Amino acid sequence: MQFRRIDDANAQGSIKGKRALVRVDFNVPMQDGRITDDTRLRAALPTIEALRKQGAKVVLLAHFGRPKGKRDLTQSLGPIAEPLSELIGAPVKFVSDCVGESAAQAIASAPEGGVILLENTRFHAGEEKNDPELAKQMAALGDLYVNDAFSAAHRAHASTEGIARLLPAYAGRSMQAELEHLDKALGTPVRPVLAVVGGAKVSTKIDLLQNLVGKVDMLAVGGGMANTFLFAKGLEVGKSLCERDLADTARAIMAAAEKSGCKILLPGDVVVAQKFEANAPHQHVRAAHVAGEDLILDAGPESVHALNAAMESAKTLIWNGPLGAFETPPFERATLDAARHAASLAQAGKLTAVAGGGDTVAALNMAGVTEKFSFVSTAGGAFLEWMEGKELPGVAALAAK
């Protein structure tokens, strides 16, 4: 997909003195009124700096929490202004609404390159309903719109989709990086493409699996969802997490994969225990030799070796979900070993490795390889919907016309 970037905005005429409405993701973790992780603030800095450098007034729009369309000061963006100001190295003016006269006056009085943070967009019921009137009121505060919040791009909200239809709209630096890397992973990838999909349940990733088998060359299934596939192939899975009622769905996915020429990789060996608890007594068995009392809690070393070999034969890797119960030692081993191998291939320039999803990011952090992957998306739901092949409203609104 061709989309407009903030560099295009300046190319089409100076944005010096213009009001740039920038949708960011400042839904950061807070405790006792203080930010505990400022990753999302830092992600917005390249866009903010680029616009400031060009002399634009930077007007930040964001949501925080779930105030359900009502003003709830426990979910105010106010506490974010000072930490953001420290990161930028310049004052950040906070305004207690995201529409109306107070916001308009603050923006009008701001200097070129000034930064204004508006209040939580979800304090207005029309935000999540994509109310045209609210979008119109927001748009009245700006001359151009920049979306730098890929993580909210799967929602057709007033601040993510509605405004983009009313003003010249562009992708910010973070959004641009996300879209370019995702296109490399699934849009126009270098083949062969290997997808690794793990996690607990097939039921949460049916659309994802159905989409991937038609697009990738190899699909490795791990985590609890692999048990459902093993069961569908007639294997004993003991007392493991398994959605037996989805066996037909798993068989249909495997049949679709065979038809499209996608090779499915399932664990050939597994790590089992009698109890799901930290450091429980465990053993390594063939996937065909799981006993009735066993819990499958991780992929075995032979399965990791096979996955690593698949990575070595691939040119592009896209990863979503762990291979086992990685939060509980020692059942993190397969996920961490495979992640480190992928990172080493990416660092050597042999593999474009793209990953995303909350559990995936946590596992890569645990493995110490997040910075070594080609790209790691923190977008969660938007990343998953993109992998499912769904159109993201906030992205579609940025399409070059």
Q: Which residues are catalytic?
A: 40, 201, 358, 381
Q: Look up residue 338 and give its two tokens.
A: 């495979």
Amino acid at 376: V
Question: Measured between alpha carbons, how far is 132 from 140 in angstroms, rounded to an integer?
Answer: 12
Tokens of 162: 């509605």
Q: Quick one: how far is CA 159 from the chain centroid?
A: 19
Report the 10 Å Cβ neighbour count for 74. 9
Cα(299)–Cα(195) distance, rounded to whole angstroms? 16
Residue 171 CA, chain-centre distance (Å), reads: 16
In angstroms, the CA 196 to CA 366 distance is: 18
The CB-based long-range contact list for 66-73 (8 Å cut-off, 24+ gap) reads 66/122, 67/120, 67/122, 67/123, 68/122, 68/125, 69/122, 69/123, 69/124, 69/125, 69/126, 69/127, 69/128, 70/123, 70/125, 71/123, 72/123
CA 324 to centroid of chain Cα atoms: 20
